[in-house]
Copies of this chain bind each other. A is one copy, B any other.
Amino acid sequence: MTESVFTYAAPGLKFGRGASDEIGWDVQQLVATAGGSASRVLLVTDAGVAATGHPQRIAQAMGSNGLDVTLFAGARVEPTDASLEEAIAFARDCGPFDAVVAVGGGSSIDTAKAVNLLLTNAGELMDYVNPPVGGGRVPEHRLLPLVAVPTTTGTGAESTTICVLDVLALKVKTGISHARLRPTLAVVDPDLTMTQPAMVTASSGMDILCHALESYTARWFADFEAKRPEQRVPYCGANPIADMWSEKALSLLAGAFRRAVGDGSDREAREQMALAATFAGLGFGNAGVHVPHACAYPIAGRVRDYRPPGYPDDEPIVPHGMAVVMTAPAAFARTFEASPERHLRAAELLGADTRDTADGGSGVLPRVLRGLMRDVGLPSGLGEIGYGSDDVDDLVDGALKQQRLLATAPIDVTADDLATVFRSSLEHW
C-alpha cells in the first residue's frame, strides 16, 4: 500500500529590517507560552559573527528587557563532534538557562540545537547522532525555546529539525535529526546579512538552490510505502505545499542571486536572498533532499587542503553549500528521467531557455546550474577543491552511508550511479 498522507511543520517567523531588535520581548513570550518565566538566556554564535558586533547588540537589547544573557562565541564553522561537545560543556557549566538564542550561520544555529538538546536531555552527543554513526537516541524531554537568527542567507537551519556535524575520528559528516530540535521562532533580519562575504553568499545561496531543486524533484510523498504514525519523518517527499515554496524560492534566486554576490550592498537583492533562504527552512525543507546532499557529506568530510576566500583560513574547509552544488548538475542529469517536466519547470524558473532540448531535455537544468555556479565564482569542479579520479571510490562509499537521503531520490540510486555523478563533477568548465 502506498502513502496518502504528508506532513508540514514550521517555526514561527518574524521577518524584516529591525526584526532582531525585538528578541528580548519574543523570548519572554515564548518562555511564558511554555509555562515559565524568562530570566537567563544563552546566546550562541561564532567568532566571525561576533566580530560584526551583531550578537553583542542583540544581547544588549535583551538586557534592556531584564534578561541575563550569557554569550558563547565558540561555535565552529562546520561543527564537529569536538566543537559541539565543547559548546555543550560550556552551557552545562554556566546553566541553567530558560531559553537559547542562536545568532549566525547554519553552524551557530546547529550548535545551539545540539546544546539545547543536551541541556535538557541526559546522555552524550554521540548517543543522539543518526545511526549507524551514532546511537540514534530519541530525546525524552522537551527542549528550551530556541530563537534562531540567521546572519547568512542559506541553509534554512533556522527552521529545520537537523544538526549537521563532522565526526572527526571517522572523517564522516552526519547529523542529529528530530522534530524537537526545530527552533521555536526564526527571526530573519536582512540587515544582518549585509556584511556576508561574496563567497559565503555564493556558497550558502547554492544550498538554498539545491534545497529547492532537490525537494522539488524528490520522490512524490504518495509514491512511498504507507507509514505508521511513529514511522513518519520530518522529510516526507515532494508534496503540494513544498512545491509551492520551492517554485517561489527558485524565482527569487533567479532574480537576486547574481546581484547579491556581485554587489553585497544591494539591499533589495539581500532581502530577496533572505526571503529565499527563509522559504528553504519554512517550506520546501519539509520534502527532503537527496543525491547532491548525500554526495556533499563525503566531499566536505574528506577535505584535504582547500581554503576558500571569505571563510576562516586556519583550517581547510569545503563550505556546505559549495559541497552540495558540486554534484548537482550531474545528479539532475541522472534523475531527469524520473520527472522530466519538473526538471524543465525548475530550469525555467531559474531563467533557462527550455526550448533547447537537443539532448531530450536532460541537459537543460545542468546547464543553467553550471552557468550560475560559474557566475557567482564557485570552483570549477571537485578537481579544484582537491579531489581526483582516485578519490571517487571513497566518495561513493561516503555517499552510500547517507541512505536516509538517498531514499528520498526519485530513482533508486546505485553505487555505479554515484560513481558516474562524482566523475562527471571533477571539472564543470
Interface residues of A (CB under 8 A from B): 3-10, 12-19, 22, 25-26, 32-35, 141-142, 180, 222, 229-230, 240-241, 244-245, 248, 275, 282
A15 CA to B6 CA, complexed, in Å: 5
**Which B residues touch A6, using CB under 8 A?**
14-16
15 contacts between A and B (CB under 8 A): A4-B19, A5-B16, A5-B17, A5-B18, A5-B22, A7-B14, A7-B15, A8-B13, A8-B15, A9-B12, A9-B13, A10-B10, A33-B142, A35-B35, A240-B275
- Selected from B15, B142, B180, the residue in CB contact (under 8 A) with A5 is B15
**Which B residues touch A4, using CB under 8 A?**
16-19
A240 CA to B278 CA, complexed, in Å: 11
- Asked whether A142 lies within 8 Å of B35 as measured between CB atoms, the reply is yes
Whose C-beta in chain B lies nearest to the C-beta of A251?
B244
**Which B residues touch A248, using CB under 8 A?**
244
**Which B residues touch A8, using CB under 8 A?**
12-13, 15, 282
- Asked whether A33 lies within 8 Å of B244 as measured between CB atoms, the reply is no
**Which B residues touch A282, using CB under 8 A?**
8, 241
- Selected from B9, B34, B229, B240, the residue in CB contact (under 8 A) with A22 is B229
Known: A34-B142, A35-B142, A142-B33. A229 touches B15 (CB 8 A): no
- Selected from B33, B141, B230, the residue in CB contact (under 8 A) with A180 is B33
A230 CA to B25 CA, complexed, in Å: 8
A35 CA to B248 CA, complexed, in Å: 37
CB distance from A279 to the nearest CB of B (A): 8
A26 CA to B141 CA, complexed, in Å: 16
**Which B residues touch A5, using CB under 8 A?**
14-19, 22
**Which B residues touch A229, using CB under 8 A?**
22, 25-26
A14 CA to B239 CA, complexed, in Å: 12
Since A8-B282, A35-B142 are in contact, a sample of 14 more A-B pairs with Cβ atoms closer than 8 Å, ordered by chain A residue number, is A4-B16, A4-B17, A5-B16, A5-B22, A6-B14, A6-B15, A6-B16, A9-B12, A15-B241, A25-B230, A26-B229, A241-B282, A244-B244, A244-B245
A307 CA to B240 CA, complexed, in Å: 37
Q: When A and B form their complex, which 3 residue pairs have the shortest distance between CB atoms, in order from nearest?
A: A5-B16, A25-B229, A22-B229
